[in-house]
Structure 1
Amino acid sequence: MNTLPNDPHLLVSVVNTKLRDFYDSLDALCDDMGVDQDQLVLKLLGADYTYDARLNQFR
């Protein structure tokens, strides 16, 4: 996750923007960016954000 912000609140903003503008799923984002999906989800879960696949965003 070197290309993404370390702060979870900045991270969720960047990830949600990328999901909205470029990717139709979290899987696609992680595959394309070379990000470990489990690590990303756990980092954001630590700040009380969870992924909603129906909305394709963290909330």
Structure 2
Amino acid sequence: MSLENIPKDPVMLMSFMNMKLRDKYSSLEVLADDLDISESELKELVERLKSAGFDYNSSRNQFI
């Protein structure tokens, strides 16, 4: 999956990521590996979410 197919809107991106994490992946790293998202692309996604006020909580495995 390329970043082109991932929502650009921060709220939609947060919802997309949380759905994937909830339904299929045990961590951000597993999600990135399975979706062929590079480490730098993952950092970009996390920063995009952080700038919109969403932080990743590893113990809950979701963005809040």
Instruction: Choose from 15, 35, 56 the match for 1:51.
Output: 56
Deviations 1:3-46 (A, max 9, x none): 21000100000110000000000001111112221011101011
Q: Which runs of 5+ in 1 are unaligned?
A: none
What pairs with 1:10-49 in structure 2 (closer than 5 Å)? 10-35=12-37, 36-49=41-54
SS at 1:23 equivalent: coil
Q: Which moved more, 1:30-39 or 1:1-10?
A: 30-39
Bigger share in helix: 2
Structure 1 residue 2: deviation in Å? Answer: 1.2
Q: TM-score, normalised by structure 2?
A: 0.86
**Number of corresponding residues:** 59
The TM-score, its normalising length taken from structure 1, stands at 0.93
Give the distance between the partners of 1:48 and 1:23, measured in 2 at CA. 22
Superposition misfits of 4+ residues, deviation over 4 angstroms: none
SS at match of 2:7: coil
Where structure 2 has 5 or more consecutive residues not aligned to the other structure, the ranges are none
